[in-house]
Structure 1
């Protein structure tokens, strides 16, 4: 006998299916009907769980950013050394991004749409906090002499953020594990590629 899913399990399942569709087709291009079809339910049944497609997107994106910020805030509290904090941020980011691939893809594909909607105003606030945490640590490292004196913290943040986001779009069959990718990035960041 097959047990039916509880309402919270059905909701979680619908969010996952919708996230996969949003990542594949784009948020705006995905219809409520397509989400319902993927779940094997009628379109109207989706409204028992969510009042709109935006509600589903909101759940996906807010969970992602809450997870990212929790990791970043914990990293800042974990050490006084900016290098150690940045290492922890990189490791936390990699783990979080692998858990939230759909959300990251949604942000990358449909940022202009989301950032223009009042409902998603929290995205800009969260992204500013993420950026500020990076910049604060990079500047602390520069000011303490741990990092180069000519380090442009804003540019370094943008480059590192984009590098961290990139592996989530690599095919799952990539030859490197998430830990190997993080270790490679940290070696490149802190040791460079020049022989000593």
Structure 2
């Protein structure tokens, strides 16, 4: 499982105590959601008294955005590493799908709750989350743009349908039946439309 210690470097975190607070906050947000988690909850879990927490963290909104961005940064790194192992466009897409599914389907993942908890947050926070998510999705835009798809296929619709399937995988995948790699291979098989076959 990826921890916040893995995701946030020393300069970004500003020390051991802050990294520990971010790790705890990420777990609480993942378990209880944005609305269900208070700064008091985070302070109590981190063993930090009242006002001392604000020495490390500006606000709950800022904390949620930071944790969300760190989670997406790590997901982006994982997918990029997986894609770089391949040169063929369909293999690159399958590698990206496998990596995203591994994150989505990991019951201990902190990344997906961060990505999916947009409805409860205030509008300015939501705007920041959506902006970062859209940048994350440029990974898949580039992968889809490289595919030899038929010329009459809309790549934007194709990409959004693919991401919808991947991002909702936890809702429809039955645990233990297939591995993330096997599921990714099936999804790519369904989505594969070569230009040569029309």
Q: Partners in 2 of 1:31 and 1:78 — Cα distance?
A: 42
CA deviations over 1:165-194 (Å, ceiling 9, x no partner): 3345689x93257xx1232232242168xx
Q: What residue in structure 2 maps to residue 155 of structure 1?
A: 157
| CA displacement at 1:10 relative to structure 2 | 3.4
Describe the SS at the equivalent of 2:121.
helix
Q: 1:96 to 1:191 in 2, by over 3 A?
A: closer
Is 1:92 equivalent to 2:99 in the alignment?
yes
Question: Residues 129 and 45 from structure 1, CA distance in 2 versus in 1: closer, same or farther, beyond 3 angstroms?
Answer: closer
Q: Which of the two has higher C-alpha Rg? A: 1
Aligned to 2:55: 48
Structure 1: distance between partners of 2:129 and 2:101: 19
Asked if structure 2 preserves the Cα contact closer than 8 Å seen for 1:67 and 1:96, the reply is no
Matched with 2:189 is 190
Give the aligned partner of residue 108 of structure 1: 116
Structure 2 residue 25 is the aligned partner of structure 1 residue 18: yes
Of the three residues 68, 71, 93, the one matched with 2:75 is: 68
SS for the counterpart of 1:175 is coil
Match of residue 130 from structure 1: 136
Q: Which has the higher contact order (CA 8 A, sep 6+)?
A: 2
The offset of 1:96, in angstroms, is 4.5
TM-score computed with the length of structure 2 as normaliser: 0.67
How far does residue 106 in structure 1 lie from its aligned partner after superposition? Answer: 3.0
In the aligned structure 1, how far is the partner of 2:130 from the partner of 2:187? 29
Question: 5+ unaligned residues in a row in structure 2: which ranges?
Answer: 1-13, 192-198
The residue that corresponds to 1:32 in the other structure is: 39
Task: Summarize the Cα distance change of 1:166–1:8 in structure 2 as closer, same or farther, 3 Å threshold.
Answer: farther
Deviations 1:1-36 (A, max 9, x none): xxxxxx844333322222222223321342111112
Number of aligned residue pairs: give it.
177
Rounded to whole Å, the distance in 2 between the matches of 1:53 and 1:24 is 16
Q: Measure how far apart 1:87 and its partner are.
A: 1.6
